């Protein structure tokens, strides 16, 4: 059963979305509490495993990335303004929560929502912002951006 519930968490100002619930149950009195406890436990585990995803211009990703988890393969690509979120199901919910406005995702293999989300997080972990790349290489952000766009550094500094 796949469901999308959205609510704001008061304490951390985070968006909490329930992507899917996989359960098998026998109809017995008192079982509803088990679902609530499982959701709370999963939310607590998700908060502990949060990562920071750098965004370009606050709307898309800095570069393309690919990842695989189990039988699910994803190719996550940055997109031009106005593209929107081209992703289905569970991945759309992830990108909406991140605040990404323009992205294209191609999924191959299994479409299991749990594996697709884990593959997306593996792709996010591979992503770097120009700021982190510049710090790692001992260069300035302008040098990194100029190299990425195929321009010479002189052209990049003259444009400013």
pTM beyond 0.75, yes or no? no
pLDDT tens digit string along 61-120?
Answer: 988 999 999 999 999 999 999 999 999 888 998 898 888 999 999 999 999 999 999 999
Q: How many residues does the chain have?
A: 160
Q: What is residue 57's three-state secondary structure?
A: coil
Q: How far apart are CA 135 and CA 141, in angstroms?
A: 8
DSSP state of 117: H
């Amino acid at each position: 059963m796949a469901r999308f519930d959205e609510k704001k968490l008061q304490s951390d100002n985070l968006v909490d979305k329930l992507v899917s619930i996989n359960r098998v149950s026998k109809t017995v009195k008192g079982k509803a509490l088990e679902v609530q406890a499982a959701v709370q436990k999963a939310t607590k585990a998700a908060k502990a495993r949060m990562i920071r995803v750098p965004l370009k211009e606050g709307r898309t990703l800095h570069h393309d990335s690919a990842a695989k988890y189990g039988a699910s393969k994803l190719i996550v690509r940055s997109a031009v303004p106005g593209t929107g979120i081209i992703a289905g199901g569970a991945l759309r919910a992830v990108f909406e929560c991140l605040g990404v406005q323009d992205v294209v995702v191609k999924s191959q293999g299994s479409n299991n929502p749990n594996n697709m989300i884990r593959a997306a997080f593996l792709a996010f972990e591979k992503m770097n912002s120009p700021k982190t790349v510049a710090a790692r290489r001992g260069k300035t952000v302008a040098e990194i951006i100029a190299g990425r766009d195929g321009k010479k550094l002189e052209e990049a500094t003259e444009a400013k």
